[in-house]
Chain A
Amino acid sequence: GQNIDQPTEMTATEGAIVQINCTYQTSGFNGLFWYQQHAGEAPTFLSYNVLDGLEEKGRFSSFLSRSKGYSYLLLKELQMKDSASYLCAVRPYTGRRALTFGSGTRLQVQP
């Protein structure tokens, strides 16, 4: 089976740093993706991890530990426009390219 867990909601302050965690248990693993989704809009790709460690992309970084089935998305210098849902998704195994998504974490950035 496949199970991906994320906190449902988080609140943070403009200018601060927030970490959104994701744990997964899947039948096979071939990469973990983070997406951002504003309400009613399309999910947009943020980052990809397949090896253990940290991937940095501007204000956003993503970390993966395959042995622990754990990832996090780190958002720095938060801006009001970062208020959105953040979706963790796993590509379960080679040969299946469809992603399995968690339910998402709704982040509210306050002034």
Chain B
Amino acid sequence: DSGVTQTPKHLITATGQRVTLRCSPRSGDLSVYWYQQSLDQGLQFLIQYYNGEERAKGNILERFSAQQFPDLHSELNLSSLELGDSALYFCASSALQGTDSPLHFGNGTRLTVT
């Protein structure tokens, strides 16, 4: 168990809808990262937050947004959903200190858009 909690585990919704994915980082970790993993594709970095502020952006679509709250949990909002958004969405957290600190991943949310 990595200590990173993601909810829900599965989400099935229709095109055009909006969903919210939730992540609680490991105790003490201030950084949260969101990744998307489509079928047979690698992990694509979406966005990073550190202590409530956006720190880095990757290949995140304008239809997607995220935030990190004062209690350090984070939410990823996906809107105007398309079939191609079906994927596993992972949240990860890391310790502040040390460039050798790995990312610790949650179990992911499997999103299916029909």
Binding site for B on A (CB under 8 A): 30-31, 33, 40-45, 48, 50, 87, 89, 91, 94, 96-104
Contacts and interface: CB of A to CB of B under 8 A. Distances in A.
Contacts of A96: 56
A87 B42 contact: yes
Interface string B86-114: 00101000100001111111111010000
Given A43-B90, A48-B100, A87-B42, A97 B31 contact: yes
Interface string B33-61: 10100000111110010000001101000
A98 B2 contact: no
Contacts of A33: 102-103
Contact of B48 (A40, A91, A94, A98): A98
Contacts of A103: 41-42
Contact of A98 (B41, B42, B56, B106): B56
Size bin of chain B's contact surface? 20 to 34
A50 to B, nearest CB: 7
Given A33-B103, A41-B107, A89-B43, 19 more contacts: A30-B99, A40-B88, A40-B108, A42-B106, A42-B107, A43-B43, A44-B105, A48-B100, A50-B100, A87-B43, A94-B99, A97-B99, A98-B56, A99-B45, A100-B45, A101-B43, A101-B45, A103-B41, A104-B42
Given A98-B33, A103-B41, A42 B108 contact: yes
A102 B101 CA distance: 19
B48 A97 contact: yes
Contacts of B102: 33, 45, 48
Given A31-B100, A42-B105, A50-B100, A101 B2 contact: no
A47 B92 CA distance: 17
